[in-house]
Amino acid sequence: MTTQYTSGRGSSGTFLAFLLALVLGAAAMVVFLRQATTGILARVADRITGRTATFDTSVPAVVQRIQRLSRLETVVYSTDTVVEGSKSSVVLPDLLAGDRILLVVHGQSIAGIDLAQLKPEDVRIDEKNGTRSIHVTLPASQLFATNLDNQHTRVYARSTGLLVPADQNLESDTRAKAEQQLQKSALDDGILDAARKNARATITTLLYSLGFNQVDVT
C-alpha cells in the first residue's frame, strides 16, 4: 500500500505571488492617481476616482476670485534716455556760475488694475437655456509706480562754473525730473490702455476656466 502526500508549497507560492502583484498594482494606481494632474491622464484619473470639478460661480464667489488677484500688474514700460539738469546765474555766464549735469537714465513704469476695487454690482451673471454668461466691468487702470533703475542710471557729464561749488542737490533734482519725464512718456504711449487690455485678457481666461460659456469683460 502506497500513501501519497500533496505538498502545499505550490499553492502557497501562488498566493504570495498574487498578493505581491496586488500590492504592486495598488501602489502603481496610487502613483498614477497622484501624478495625473493635467491633460487626458487627469481625465482618466477623474473617471477612476469618480471625482468631478465644481465651481461656485455666484456673484460673490466670482468677485472674491477676481479680487484675489489684487493689484494686477499687466504692463511694464521701460525706457533709456538722457536727462539734463542745470542751474544758471542771471548775471554771470555759466562758465563762471553755472552748474550742469547729464544723467543717462534707465527706468520703468508699472501699470495695471487694482481688482480689490471690484464691486458686486460690477459683475452680472445670466443663465439661459443651460448657457451661463457673465459680464464684468473692471475698475479703471492705474499707473502703480515709476522708478529709476539706480544700477543702470549714471552721471554722464558734470560741469561746474569756476566761481561756484557743485550743487549737491542737483543730481537728486534731476533724477526726480527724469521720473516725471518717464511717467509722462509712459502715459503718452498709452500704458493705461495697454494695461486695461491685458487685464481684460487675464480676467477673461480666468472666467472661462470657471465654466462660463460666454464672457464679456469691459
> Can you list the positions of beta strands (E) in 149-217?
154-160, 214-217
- My answer on whether 39 and 138 are in the same domain is no
- My answer on whether 91 and 36 are in the same domain is no
Residues of the chain above pLDDT 90, percent: 33
Going by C-alpha positions, the residue among 206, 207, 186 that lies closest to residue 195 is 186
Q: What range does the domain containing 39 cover?
A: 10-49
The answer to whether position 5 is within a domain reads no
- My answer on whether 79 and 37 are in the same domain is no
Q: What is the pLDDT of residues 27-76, one digit of tens each?
A: 666 665 566 555 565 555 556 655 544 445 577 777 888 878 788 889 99
Using an 8 Å Cβ cutoff, are 141 and 111 in contact? yes
Give the separation between CA 30 and CA 93, rounded to whole angstroms. Answer: 84
Domain total of the chain: 2
The answer to whether position 141 is within a domain reads yes
- My answer on whether 41 and 70 are in the same domain is no
Q: What is the value of pTM for the model shown?
A: 0.65
Task: State which of 6-10, 90-94, 130-134, 137-141 shows the largest mean pLDDT.
Answer: 137-141
